[in-house]
Amino acid sequence: MSKHPLYNLPIRVYFQDTDAGGVVYHASYVNFMERARTEWLRERCGYSNAGLMKEFGVVFVVRSLKLEYLKPALLDDLLNVTAQVKETGRSRVLLKQDVLRGEEKLVEAEVHLVCVAVDSFKPVSVPEVLRKQWKD
Q: Please identify every residue annotated as catalytic.
A: 19
Residue pair 99/106 in contact (Cβ under 8 Å)? The answer is: yes
d(CA 9, CA 33): 9
d(CA 136, CA 118): 26
d(CA 119, CA 94): 23
